[in-house]
C-alpha cells in the first residue's frame, strides 16, 4: 500500500491506514520501522471497524470523491496490487 500511495498520490489518491490494534505504541513502532509515510489512524474503540463492517484485516476500501465505497478487498497477497491499481485508475478517471 505504501508503494501505491507514493506512486498515485500525485494523481489525487488519498490513503489513510486505520490500525485496529489496542497497542498504539507497538503499532506506531511497526509503522516507523517499516518506513511508512502514509497517514495512519488508530481505531482503538472499534468505531471505524463497525462503521465499515470490518470482517478481518487487512481490509482495503476504495472510496470515491462522493464518499461512496466503490470497492473492497479482504486480505493482501502479492499480485493484489495490480487489481487495486486498476480499480483506483477507474475511480481517478485515468482508466
Domain extents in the chain:
2-92
Cell numbers placing 53 = 463492517
- Taking only Cα atoms into account, the Rg of the chain, rounded to an integer number of angstroms, comes to 14
Superfamily of domain 2-92: Glutaredoxin (3.40.30.10)
Question: If DSSP codes are grouped into helix, strand and coil, which group holds residue 33?
Answer: helix
The dihedrals phi and psi of 82, each to the nearest 5 degrees, come to -65, -45
Question: What are 52's three cell numbers?
Answer: 465499515
Say how far apart CA 85 and CA 17 lie, in whole Å: 17
pLDDT, one tens digit for every residue, the chain (95 residues): 899 999 999 999 999 999 998 899 999 999 999 999 999 999 999 999 999 888 788 999 999 889 899 999 999 888 899 999 999 999 898 64
pTM of the model: 0.80
CA distance 51 to 34: 28
Amino acid at each position: 500500500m505504501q508503494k501505491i500511495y507514493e506512486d498515485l498520490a500525485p494523481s489525487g489518491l488519498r490513503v489513510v491506514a486505520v490500525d485496529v490494534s489496542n497497542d498504539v505504541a507497538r503499532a506506531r513502532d511497526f509503522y516507523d520501522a517499516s518506513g511508512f509515510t502514509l497517514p495512519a489512524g488508530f481505531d482503538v474503540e472499534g468505531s471505524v471497524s463497525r462503521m465499515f463492517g470490518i470482517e478481518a484485516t487487512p481490509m482495503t476500501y476504495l472510496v470515491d470523491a462522493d464518499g461512496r465505497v466503490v470497492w473492497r478487498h479482504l486480505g493482501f497477497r502479492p499480485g493484489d496490487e495490480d487489481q487495486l491499481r486498476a480499480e483506483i485508475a477507474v475511480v481517478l478517471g485515468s482508466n
